[in-house]
Amino acid sequence: MPVTTFVPDPSAPQPGQLLARGVCRLLATHDFACLEEFVPERGKRVDVMAVGPKGALWVVECKSSRADFMSDAKWQGYLDWCDRFFWAVDAEFPLDLLPEASGLIIADAYGGEIVRMPDEQKLAGARRAAMTRKFARDAARRLQGVRDPRI
């Protein structure tokens, strides 16, 4: 009888990516357009960036476990890129770990709910314009890459 070894599928979505999918579905119901794994500047990456109908910019960081959260020392930097910042976690997550001033989304791979709406810290106009422009260009280039893979 052959011995088989379990090898994880490298293309399978990670838990944080599944949370991000649910977050994007949720935010679509709030009329926010989302881009996953958005890079606001070189070396920084946010799990979900969302643009609202009037231009509001929200960032959502998706944490699949305590370890995932504890290893992220850079989250306060995310506040520089958005009007509102949220954590998204699943229903098992130890919520008392999370800073109370942040927004909170409870989600799974299929959707979620905004549990706590954070205060708004409005971005300055020039930063907002630069972020919106980068979001626009990144989203369009990713779409073109899907529609016309020769690019």
Token pair, residue 85, equals 């910042």
How many residues contact a second copy, by CB under 8 A? Answer: 27
Confirm or reject binding of residue 59 to a second copy (CB under 8 A): no
Confirm or reject binding of residue 144 to a second copy (CB under 8 A): yes
Mask: binding to a second copy, 112-131, rule CB under 8 A, as x and -? -----------------x--
Confirm or reject binding of residue 133 to a second copy (CB under 8 A): yes
Confirm or reject binding of residue 65 to a second copy (CB under 8 A): no
Using CB under 8 A, which residues numbered 11 to 30 contact a second copy? 21, 24-25, 28
In total, the chain counts a number of residues equal to 151
Token pair, residue 134, equals 């980068």
Beta-sheet pairing, 46-51 with 33-38: antiparallel
Q: How far is the CB of 132 from a second copy (least distance, A)?
A: 5
Q: CA 149 → CA 37, 123, 134, 142, 145, distances in Å?
A: 20, 35, 21, 10, 5
Nearby residues of 137 by Cβ (< 8 Å), 6 or more positions away? none
Q: How far is the CB of 87 from a second copy (least distance, A)?
A: 21
Q: CA 49 → CA 33, 84, 100, 141, distances in Å?
A: 8, 10, 21, 16
* Interface residue list for a second copy (CB under 8 A): 21, 24-25, 28, 33-35, 51, 53, 55, 129, 132-133, 135-144, 146, 148, 150-151
